[in-house]
Amino acid sequence: MPGSAPFSLEHTFKPNLFNEAKAYINHAPFHNPQSSALPFAVDTNGEFVGLNDNTADIEVGSTFGIVDNLTWAHGRHAFKMGMEYRRVRLNQGQTADNNLSFGSADDMSTATLDKISYIAPWCCHGLRRNFLLPYFQDEWKVTPTFTLTAGVRWEYYGVAHEATNRTTVFDPNQFHGVCLGSGSFNVLPVPTSAGPINTPPCPKDPALYNPNYRNFDPRIAVAWAPSALQGKTVFRAGFGIYRGAAQNDDLNAGLEGKPVWSQPDTVAINGSGSSEKPRFTSR
């Protein structure tokens, strides 16, 4: 069940100096089961409507953060500054997924299986990210009826990484083509000496993509309350550049891919229903 817990502390140091500190925790366990009570799915090769099994995609997300905002009033200016730090955690797994396939309607009537596919349950892939979001703003009372607000915000969305460093990064121009994380179970297909020359050595835990440190976003706005309207009307206009970190699932696609040991294994059964010399293939 999703839940959140915010905490806030406000303190006035001086009449013109105010600080607000916040901390929060958000937790959202997401279980996406198929609508079935069967422990196995049934595929009839298009002869009849198939039946789903009760396999489930499990995602448990948690976000921890702290925010601090400071306001200082000085003359006609109100300076506001602060920063947010956010930690994102997303753990994923899957329950068992089993499929029984029949080649034809006749096979269904005689309960003759064509093949059996199965995926073992697996857990867990863990996505981790850190965000840093500082800002500065000046609200300037140019005249009693005209206010100018200007500021800038820097947004750094840290590179996602897997908690146990089990990733494998492919790049023909870096790391001799392939680089394994320190926790990877994979094996290099060829010796690193067989890859491109004059490439940097493979780091212990390669990044999934390059970080972006250039997210500087300006904000500007004006507010005007004409004296002729006796303070009953305010005209406002503004401009800003706003960014977002995108959905974690979008970046998590590579981590969400099934591990090698959980790819469907298929047992092919001959027409008589005998398991003589079963053929195992991995997709």
51 secondary structure, DSSP code: B
pLDDT of residue 272: 41
Question: Which carries the bigger pLDDT value, residue 205 or residue 127?
Answer: 127
pLDDT tens digits along 57-105? 888 889 999 999 999 999 999 999 999 999 999 888 888 888 888 888 8
Q: Is the pLDDT of residue 39 over 60?
A: yes
Please give the mean pLDDT across all residues of the chain.
82
Cβ-based neighbour number of residue 109 at 10 Å: 9
How far is CA 196 from each of CA 173, 191, 200, 242, rounded to the nearest angstrom? 7, 11, 10, 40
pLDDT of residue 252: 66
* Structure tokens belonging to residue 273: 């229903």
Q: Is the pLDDT of residue 260 over 70?
A: no
pLDDT of residue 276: 34
pLDDT of residue 224: 96
Counting residues of the chain whose pLDDT is more than 70, the rounded percentage is: 82
Residue 141: its H or E element: strand 122-143
- Cα 29 to chain centroid distance, Å, stands at 14
8 A C-beta contact, residue 182 and residue 204? yes
| 112 class by beta-carbon count within 10 Å (0-12 exposed, 13-18 middle, 19+ buried) | middle
Question: Which carries the bigger pLDDT value, residue 91 or residue 167?
Answer: 91
pLDDT tens digits along 186-207? 776 656 555 555 556 677 778 8
Distance CA 99, CA 176 (A): 40
pLDDT of residue 130: 95
Distance CA 104, CA 47 (A): 7
pLDDT of residue 9: 97
Overall average pLDDT of the 253-257 stretch: 59
Strands 265-268 and 115-119, bridge-based pairing:
antiparallel
> In DSSP terms, which residues pair with 133 in a beta bridge?
84
8 A C-beta contact, residue 53 and residue 36? yes
Q: What number of CA atoms fall less than 13 Å from residue 117's CA on the CB side?
A: 14
Q: What is the 3-state secondary structure (H, E, C) of 178-192?
A: EEECCCCCCCCCCCH
Residues 6+ apart with CB under 8 A from 198: none
The pTM of the full predicted model, rounded to 2 decimals, is 0.76
Distance CA 124, CA 29 (A): 14
Strands 235-240 and 216-224, bridge-based pairing:
antiparallel
Task: Examine residue 124 and say whether the peptide bond preceding it is cis (omega within 30 degrees of 0).
Answer: yes
> In DSSP terms, which residues pair with 67 in a beta bridge?
22, 84
